[in-house]
Chain A
Amino acid sequence: EIVLTQSPRTLSLSPGERATLSCRASQSVDSGYLAWYQQKPGQAPKFLIYAASTRTTGIPDRFSGSGSGTDFTLTISRLEPEDFAVYYCQQYVNSALTFGGGTKVEI
C-alpha cells in the first residue's frame, strides 16, 4: 500500500504570501493519478488539480501543482482569504485511492 505523507501539518501564513505544500509517497506514484483537494470546515472536499499539475475548471491560476515519482508539491502563489483551508493529496492505483493526512493553511 502506498502511503502519502503531507508536510507540514500546519502552515501559518498571511494573505498575499506564498504557500508551498509537500506530498511525499512511500513509493513511486503514477503522476497521472495524483490529485489535490481543498476542504473548508463543514464542507465537502473540492477538487483542485489532477495529473499532478492540471487545474480543473474554475480553479484560479494562483494554484499550481508539480512533481513526479515520490515528491509532489502544491503551490499557492499569493494567498487569498478564501484559500485558508485544509489541503489533501490523493493517489490512485489498482482501483483504490489513498489520501495524505492533510496540510492546514491557517492565518
Chain B
Amino acid sequence: EVQLVESGGGLVQPGESLRLSCEVSGIRFRQFWMHWVRQAPGQGLVWVSGIKNDGSSTTYADSVKGRFTISRDNARSTLYLQMNSLRVEDTAVYYCGLWGGGALDHWGQGALVTVSS
C-alpha cells in the first residue's frame, strides 16, 4: 500500500520559516515526480511546486517563487518544502502528491500551516 505522510506543519508568525516533510512508502519513490498542493481554509486546491524524480528540475507557482524551495532525498524516500518569509496568505493545508504520469495518483493526509501574528 502506498502511503504519503506529511509532517512539520504548525503556527508561525509572518516572516518566519517552516519546513514540511513528506515520507513516502510502498512505492519506488525515486521513479516519480512529486508535487506540493495547498488549500486555504474553505478554498480550492492550488498547486505550489513540483520536482523531478532525480531532483534535477523544479517548478514553482509565481506566488511562492523565491520564498519556497522544494527538494527530495531519494535515499530516505522523503520530499521537502522549505518555506521562508511566510505570509498570512500562505495559511493552508499543504498536501504532497505523487505524480503517476497522468495525475496525482496518491496524496498525503495534509499538514496545516498557520501564519499569524
Contacts and interface: CB of A to CB of B under 8 A. Distances in A.
Choose among B45, B46, B52, B57 the residue with the greatest number of A CB atoms under 10 Å from its CB.
Answer: B45
A56 B37 CA distance: 20
Interface of A: 32-33, 35, 37, 39, 44-47, 49-51, 54, 56, 88, 90, 92, 94-102
Contact of B59 (A32, A45, A96): A96
A55 to B, nearest CB: 11
Q: For chain B, which range describes its interface: under 10, 10 to 19, 20 to 34, or 35 or more residues?
A: 20 to 34
Nearest to A97: B47
Interface of B: 33, 35, 37, 44-47, 50, 52, 57, 59, 61, 95, 100, 102-110
A82 B108 CA distance: 21
A94 B59 contact: yes
Chain B contact residues, majority secondary structure:
strand
Contacts of A46: 107
A35 B107 contact: no
Choose among B52, B100, B103, B107 the residue with the greatest number of A CB atoms under 10 Å from its CB.
Answer: B103
Contact of A51 (B33, B52, B102): B102
